[in-house]
Amino acid sequence: MKLKKLLAMLCVAITLTTALTVPVLASGGVSGAIEATWQDAAGQVKTIVNSVVFPAISLILAVLFFVKLATSYMDCAPVMAIR
């Protein structure tokens, strides 16, 4: 039983190794293509981060600041008894 499990795991490992090493054998400048694509996309990424991500973070921080300000005011404000 133990031998069957070991043999099955070995077969799965060999199959996965064979299936996943095919892209390694690709010819050509794969790293050059990836670098060129990243250089082209870097401007777009910077534009999105500057126009979407930073304003969203600023908005979230502003909302949290005003919530904190309101809660601290409520904690320090004199409490009037309801008559």
pLDDT tens digit string along 34-46? 888 888 889 899 9
Residue 23 lies in a domain: no
Residue 63 lies in a domain: yes
Residue 36 lies in a domain: no
Residue 27 lies in a domain: no
Domain boundaries, position 55: 43-70
Q: Looking at residue 61, what is its pLDDT?
A: 97
**How many domains, in total, are found in the chain?**
1
pTM: 0.48
Number of Cβ within 10 Å of residue 79's Cβ equals 6
Band (25; pLDDT cuts 50, 70, 90): low
The mean of the pLDDT values for the chain is 84
Residue 64 lies in a domain: yes
Residue 33 lies in a domain: no
Residue 77 lies in a domain: no
Residue 50 lies in a domain: yes
Q: What share of the chain is helix, strand, coil (3-state, %, to 5)?
A: 85, 0, 15
